[in-house]
Copies of this chain bind each other. A is one copy, B any other.
Amino acid sequence: MRARDVNSGGAKSDDDGYAALAAGIAAGERPALARAITLIESTRADHRARAEALLAEVMGRTGHSLRLGVSGVPGVGKSTFIEAFGLMLTGQGHRVAVLAVDPSSRRTGGSILGDKTRMEELSRDPNAFIRPSPTGGSLGGVARRTREAMLLCEAAGFDVIIVETVGVGQSETAVADMVDLFLLLLLPSGGDELQGIKKGIVELADLVVVNKADGELAPAASRAAAEYQSALRMLRPLSEAWQVPVLRCSSLEKRGMTEIWEAALRFRDLLGPQGLAEKRGGQARAWMWSAVEDSLATAFRRHPAVAARLPELEAKVAAGEVPATLAAEELLRLFRKG
């Protein structure tokens, strides 16, 4: 049953009124949650209208969770970590929702979390809810749907939301912009694997965890953790109230999980209710404006006169033949005319 709940949304969502879904979510029913997420993922206009009504309905029940982003290059063991970490949390009585931001994901799998076998035990846990990344579309669209899914999960009473990202490209920034705490998973290989990580990602991390600190890799993990710690001390403002901790864990042997959770709670306590509200408020405002700007930019690009002139002009700008501001002003004139 439960495994099916997760995927049953697609088939049923059309039958649900948003009020019924809101009631199911308020009751913490995972099938209703799954269908609601399918609804907000839909691009059909009538679905979108119901999705908006549903979000407005549940908004008062949102915000009561710790939002945790988890990133790391492929092979670092994100899914194994999230399963071990999630099971520790459900074992403590938490209700854990796992979402993902993976712009490369396709309905035909491809999404890390689409592959259920990756978190078999957690996906069978009645206090866990696992949802693959929304499929297709731009990173902005995927992030938007994940943010809305996060709100629905909170409304359904999940008090820990884990948002996984694939660890390549811009998705980390998108995830860091929607969570309270951004956790970066690293391999015990002393920096080599960072070649897969985009510039600036390490500096996004509020918490760094060296995974696979077990067996033969244990000594390497200790070395790597010490090296990362001193490197971060060097490159991070010493005056910052929060000095990014570098922890070790073994997802395989399920060790180090409570220490990571305690560090996350320390981080939240340091922020305080006021700081957390300000951080989330800033994220929400930025999210609103990026939605506005995306929509304006789309209308701009689709404007016939702009679309007709854009390719040649953009090429000339790139070639250094036309100053960027002149090109912008010409395009804006075309846009205003029509």
Binding site for B on A (CB under 8 A): 52, 55-56, 59-60, 62-63, 144, 147-148, 151, 190-192, 194-197, 199-200, 202-204, 227-228, 230-240, 277, 280-282, 284-285, 287-289, 291-293, 295-297, 300, 314, 317-329, 331-332
Contact = CB atoms under 8 A, between A and B. Distances in A.
A52 B329 contact: yes
Contacts of A192: 238
A262 to B, nearest CB: 24
Given A194-B234, A195-B237, A227-B234, 8 more contacts: A55-B326, A194-B236, A196-B237, A200-B203, A230-B234, A284-B320, A287-B324, A288-B328
Contacts of A277: 319-320
A285 B55 CA distance: 37
Contacts of A327: 288
Given A237-B195, A322-B56, A331-B292, A285 B297 contact: no
Nearest to A58: B323
A153 B328 CA distance: 22
Nearest to A54: B323
A278 B8 CA distance: 47
8 contacts: A55-B323, A194-B236, A202-B235, A285-B317, A292-B297, A292-B300, A293-B296, A293-B297
Given A59-B322, A322-B59, A314 B288 contact: yes
Contacts of A285: 314, 317-318, 324
A194 B238 contact: yes
A291 B324 contact: yes
Contact of A332 (B147, B238, B281, B295): B295
B148 A280 contact: no
B317 A284 contact: yes
Nearest to A151: B323
Contacts of A317: 281, 284-285, 288
Contacts of A292: 297, 300, 328, 331-332
A318 B284 contact: yes
A284 B300 CA distance: 18
Given A148-B325, A288-B324, A297-B296, A194 B235 contact: yes
Contacts of A191: 233-235, 238
Contacts of A296: 293, 296-297, 300, 332
